């Protein structure tokens, strides 16, 4: 009966490959003309909020990131995303705006596939649940200070919130650690690419 049994194994592989081609490979091919940008490429220009962070928390910023520059912003983005993943923020905050349910009015421009074609979205953090609001247009919606207070004690600035507090992002004097600075830099970067640069038009 060896041949009958093998038939089911082979059928399993073939049906998997068919589904993988239709639902996985074809979306990849759709984007074959859009090169995958590096983190350095998406880290320029540096958003004003990152420069502001160096002004807001000068001692901590210098300790953890030195001077605000593209390399230090890259480090902040990568640590910020790693923190976002480690705390599983993506389970309660999505990162795409749909063209329905008036989401463009609530959050900002509807998401396009090209804007995710860079290594900051490796792995992507689309999310499937919104216990809290979507974050892909979060840049500039709140100040750095608001974010710090919100991470330390969410209900101090958003009384209705059920978000956990993250006191371990702050030291004994309640000053931000590298993780807090990086996470705020990351959140303020989300969607910054859809905003108008100084004196220019939105991309």
- Residue numbers 11-30 binding another protein by CB under 8 A: 11-13, 15-16, 18-20, 22-24, 26-28, 30
Among 40, 41, 63, 122, binds another protein (CB under 8 A): 122
Q: How far is the CB of 139 from another protein (least distance, A)?
A: 17
Which lies closer to another protein via its Cβ, residue 48 or residue 132? 132
- Cβ(28)–Cβ(119) below 8 Å: no
Q: How far is the CB of 135 from another protein (least distance, A)?
A: 12
**Is residue 51 near another protein by the rule CB under 8 A?**
no
**Is residue 38 near another protein by the rule CB under 8 A?**
no
**Is residue 168 near another protein by the rule CB under 8 A?**
yes
Q: Is the peptide bond before 45 cis (omega within 30 degrees of 0)?
A: yes
201 phi, psi to nearest 5 deg: -110, 155
**Is residue 186 near another protein by the rule CB under 8 A?**
no
- Cβ(61)–Cβ(54) below 8 Å: yes
Helices 58-65, 178-189: crossing angle, 10 deg rounding: 90
The conformation of residue 31, written as its DSSP 8-state character, comes to T
Which lies closer to another protein via its Cβ, residue 11 or residue 51? 11
**Is residue 167 near another protein by the rule CB under 8 A?**
yes
**Is residue 192 near another protein by the rule CB under 8 A?**
no
Which lies closer to another protein via its Cβ, residue 64 or residue 103? 103
Q: Which residues pair with 170 in a beta bridge?
A: 176
CA-nearest of 178, 179, 182, 148 to 165 is: 148
Among 48, 56, 92, 194, binds another protein (CB under 8 A): 92
Q: How far apart are alpha carbons 78 and 83 in whole angstroms?
A: 9
Candidates 53-61, 66-74, 123-131, 180-188; binding stretch for another protein (CB under 8 A): 123-131
Among 89, 135, 148, 181, binds another protein (CB under 8 A): 89
Instruction: Please identify which residue in the block is written with the tokens 């998406």.
Output: 42
Which lies closer to another protein via its Cβ, residue 62 or residue 124? 124
**Is residue 142 near another protein by the rule CB under 8 A?**
no
Q: How far apart are alpha carbons 203 and 191 in whole angstroms?
A: 11
- Cβ(38)–Cβ(118) below 8 Å: yes
């Amino acid at each position: 009966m060896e041949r009958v049994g093998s038939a089911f194994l082979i059928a399993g592989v073939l049906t998997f490959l068919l589904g993988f081609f239709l639902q996985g490979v074809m979306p990849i091919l759709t984007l074959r003309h859009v090169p995958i940008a590096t983190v350095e490429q998406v880290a320029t220009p540096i958003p004003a909020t990152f420069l502001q962070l160096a002004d807001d928390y000068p001692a901590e910023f210098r300790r953890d990131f030195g001077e605000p520059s593209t390399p230090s912003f890259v480090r902040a983005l990568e640590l910020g995303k790693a923190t976002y993943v480690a705390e599983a923020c993506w389970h309660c905050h999505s990162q795409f705006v749909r063209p329905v349910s008036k989401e463009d009015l609530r959050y900002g421009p509807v998401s396009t596939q090209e804007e995710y074609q860079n290594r900051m979205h490796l792995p992507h953090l689309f999310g499937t649940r919104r216990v809290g609001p979507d974050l892909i247009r979060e840049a500039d919606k709140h100040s750095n200070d608001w974010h710090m207070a919100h991470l330390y004690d969410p209900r101090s600035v958003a009384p209705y919130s059920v978000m956990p507090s993250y006191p371990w992002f702050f030291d004994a004097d309640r000053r931000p650690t590298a993780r807090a600075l990086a996470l705020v830099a990351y959140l303020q970067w989300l969607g910054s690419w859809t905003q108008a640069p100084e004196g220019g038009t939105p991309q």
